[in-house]
């Protein structure tokens, strides 16, 4: 099994250039020792990417992600940013399918499948987010929904392409609410996602794909979540905006 542990910080639409520069500097200043085969990924807004790339470039294991990209290679799409532009400023990962993109920007599986292709075509990696809203969880429909999200967004890929895919399970009811999934709920869903990968691509792809948990992850609950056998790290929102909290979560990954 060679899958990575990943702690990724999704800043969302927070912090200006100067605040963001300070946050990256504060995290790096902690000189955190990373466990073997572990990555820390920082996903600031587009305007911060180039600067953050220069800040991270000499620190092994620290990589940069964008929070979104457009599905087309270039052209008349005012206000959009392409995968090749992200590549050119030093990005390694692109987060796709975050529930906020699905909810506020109407992103669906058909669009996300195109975005996945655009990212992979530029030799970048995808952090593909899935997860159910509360009503779906209450009706016990979470597996069916996550299955649809994964098969619609990712299952057009071949097994070789999956080495550039990371999945993040983020129950929408846990995002920014302070209400974390229990480690039992997280493990159950992560094992289910891995079983879907095994069924579609075989055991090797399933074993080698990192599956992150997201949703009110913080230093006080990260160690328990990360100890679950199928939880390979976290996608962190609010707590990634505070250097001490993000550092605490990175430490919990060791
Ligand atoms: P949260 O967000 O940690 O603030 O709940 C997680 C996410 O949306 O990625």
pLDDT reported for residue 32: 86
Look up the pTM and report it: 0.97
Over residues 223-248, the mean pLDDT reads: 97
Mean residue pLDDT of the chain comes to: 97
Spatial CA neighbour of 200 closest among 159, 252, 145:
159
Q: What is the pLDDT of residues 8-37, one digit of tens each?
A: 999 999 999 999 999 999 999 998 889 999
Q: Is the pLDDT of residue 1 over 80?
A: no
Residues lining ligand 1, Cβ inside 6 A: 10, 170, 175-176, 214-217, 235-239
pLDDT reported for residue 176: 84
CA 154 to chain centre: 14
Spatial CA neighbour of 93 closest among 119, 55, 114:
119
pLDDT confidence band for 177 (50 / 70 / 90): confident
Nearest CA to ligand 1 atom 7: 237
- Those residues whose C-beta lies under 8 Å from the C-beta of residue 66, and which sit 6 or more positions away, are 43, 46, 49, 81, 86, 91, 93, 94, 95
- For the CA of 129, the closest atom of ligand 1 is 9
pLDDT reported for residue 43: 98
| 132 catalytically annotated | no
- For the CA of 239, the closest atom of ligand 1 is 3
Ligand 1 centroid to Cα of residue 9, in Å, is 9
| 70 catalytically annotated | no
């Amino acid at each position: 099994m060679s899958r990575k542990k990943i702690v990724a910080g999704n800043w969302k639409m927070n912090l200006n250039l100067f605040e963001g520069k300070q946050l990256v500097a504060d995290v790096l200043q902690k000189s955190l020792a990373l466990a073997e085969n572990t990555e820390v990924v920082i996903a600031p807004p587009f305007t911060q990417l180039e600067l953050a790339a220069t800040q991270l470039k000499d620190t092994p294991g620290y990589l940069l992600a964008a929070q979104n990209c457009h599905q087309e290679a270039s052209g008349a799409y005012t206000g959009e940013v392409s995968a090749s532009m992200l590549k050119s400023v030093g990005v390694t990962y692109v987060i796709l399918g975050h529930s906020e993109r699905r909810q506020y920007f109407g992103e669906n599986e058909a669009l996300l499948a195109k975005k996945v292709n655009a990212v992979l075509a530029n030799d970048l990696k995808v952090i593909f987010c899935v997860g159910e809203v509360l009503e779906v969880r209450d009706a016990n429909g979470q597996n069916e929904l996550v299955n649809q999200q994964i098969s619609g967004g990712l299952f057009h890929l071949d097994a070789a392409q999956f080495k550039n895919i990371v999945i993040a399970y983020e129950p929408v009811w846990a995002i920014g609410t302070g209400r974390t999934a229990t480690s039992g709920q997280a493990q159950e869903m992560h094992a289910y996602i891995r079983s879907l990968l095994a069924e579609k691509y075989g055991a090797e792809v399933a074993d080698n794909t990192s599956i992150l948990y997201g949703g009110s992850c913080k230093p006080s609950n990260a160690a328990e979540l990360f100890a679950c056998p199928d939880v390979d790290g976290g996608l962190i929102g609010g707590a990634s905006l505070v250097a001490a909290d993000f550092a605490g979560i990175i430490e919990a990954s060791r």
